[in-house]
Amino acid sequence: MMQEPLVITIDGPAGAGKSTVAQMLAARLGLMYVDSGATYRAAALKVLEAGIDPNDTVAVGRVIGATNVQVTTGEGEPHVLVNGDDVTALLRTPEVTLAAAQVSRLPEVRVKLIELQRAFARDRGVVMEGRDIGTVVFPQAQLKIFLKADMEERARRRLKQDSRDSSKATLERTAYEIGRRDQLDAERKISPLMPAPDAVEIDSTYLLADQVVEQILELARNRQLVCDEGKKAL
């Protein structure tokens, strides 16, 4: 029987360090890195461009049905294409961030994007980050991580990622926005943000990304998913 490709899932709230850790881990193990949030952001962008309310289930369903989302997986940073256009640079605005949290509550959107996300691991190993990757997208994943961090630290990291100024006011505003999104993510009926029962929780508040990656590699070694040096997926 063919061995299943190695799937490592990293779920957790915004700003817990998922992207950095998942990218570093994928590079270390020669696996593909997939940011599932980018697929929800791409769908949200399309909905905003169409000028419809992200909470209007029927209209959003119609737009999403006619939208093709792709993530390029070649060298360097991944790029997101919507109906063939590269929209990578447009996905991190506050408007798209809020709309992504709204459209991701709709089953029509999730069903379509989950199918896309599963396809990434059809014939190769992946490290995929998101909110429901270990619970819904890949319940059979060989290693599941739930990454958390204190709110203030998460706000600081998010600002750095989005290259906004880091004044106290902006930090407070960002913490507020993150709190609001956490609530939307955790309260939604389908695929709410929560750790899978078999996920390993790591609190990254006082850890460098390197240290988190080392902890995950150690877990992978212990489960004999990677070779002893932790350099390559088996």
Helices (H), the chain: 18-29, 36-49, 57-65, 94-103, 107-120, 151-161, 168-187, 209-222
Closest separation in Å from C-beta 36 to ligand DC: 4
* Mode of pairing for the β-strands spanning 126-130 and 32-35: parallel
d(CA 98, CA 177) in angstroms, rounded, equals 9
Question: Of 40, 120, 138, 146, which one interacts with ligand DC (CB under 6 A)?
Answer: 40
**By rule CB under 6 A, what string of x and - marks binding of each residue 133-152 to ligand DC?**
x-------------------
Q: Shortest distance, CB of residue 132 to ligand DC, whole angstroms?
A: 5
Query: CA-CA distance, 10 to 128, in Å (whole number)?
Result: 6
Residue nearer to ligand DC on the CB measure, 17 or 230: 17
User: Any contact of residue 130 with ligand DC (CB under 6 A)?
Assistant: yes
Interaction of residue 112 with ligand DC, rule CB under 6 A:
no
Give the shortest CB-3-to-ligand DC separation in angstroms. Answer: 25
Residues in 7-26 at the binding interface with ligand DC, rule: CB under 6 A: 14
DSSP state of 4: P
Q: Ramachandran region of residue 84, left (φ > 0), alpha (ψ -120 to 50) or beta?
A: left
Binding site residues, ligand DC, CB under 6 A? 14, 36-37, 40-41, 100-101, 104, 130-133, 181, 185
